């Protein structure tokens, strides 16, 4: 859990041809963005629309469950247009909230996470 903003960067070995493009997450805060704006790739470190926070979302048995938030709202997921792969959005609907579970690993230089979709 953090009270300070973090930037999230998409890293993938299957996307090596786009090295010139930013892979930082950003909220589509354009005037044409829908009611639930998308999370896009192309942000800039430190920009307001590229800043996220990690907040505790669970208690008891789900104590290590977290959610991502921004100045604009909570990060959620809906079925996307491409093979129904999850599309990340900003939402006020708790049923769409993207929940994240972090796992401790032995190597301190490696981090892993699992996504948890309620329902």
**Domains of the chain, first to last:** 16-116 (2.80.10.50)
pLDDT, the chain, mean: 82
Provide the percentage of residues in the chain whose pLDDT is more than 70: 81
Q: What is the pLDDT of residues 64-95, one digit of tens each?
A: 899 999 999 999 999 988 888 899 999 999 99
pTM for this predicted structure: 0.75
Provide CB contacts within 8 A for 25, sequence distance 6+.
7, 8, 9, 10, 39, 40, 41, 43, 50, 52, 88
Confidence of residue 5 (pLDDT cuts 50, 70, 90): confident
The pLDDT assigned to 88 comes to: 95
């Amino acid at each position: 859990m953090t009270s300070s903003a973090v930037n999230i960067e998409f890293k993938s070995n299957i996307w090596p041809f786009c090295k010139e493009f930013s892979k930082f997450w950003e909220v589509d805060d354009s005037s044409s963005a829908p009611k639930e704006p998308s999370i896009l790739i192309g942000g800039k470190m430190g920009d307001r629309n590229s800043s996220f926070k990690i907040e505790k979302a669970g208690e008891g048995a789900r104590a290590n469950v977290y959610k991502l938030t921004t100045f604009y709202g909570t990060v959620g997921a809906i079925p996307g247009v491409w093979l129904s792969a999850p599309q990340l959005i900003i939402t006020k609907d708790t049923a769409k909230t993207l929940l994240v579970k972090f796992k401790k690993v032995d190597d301190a230089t490696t981090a892993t996470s699992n996504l948890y979709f309620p329902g």
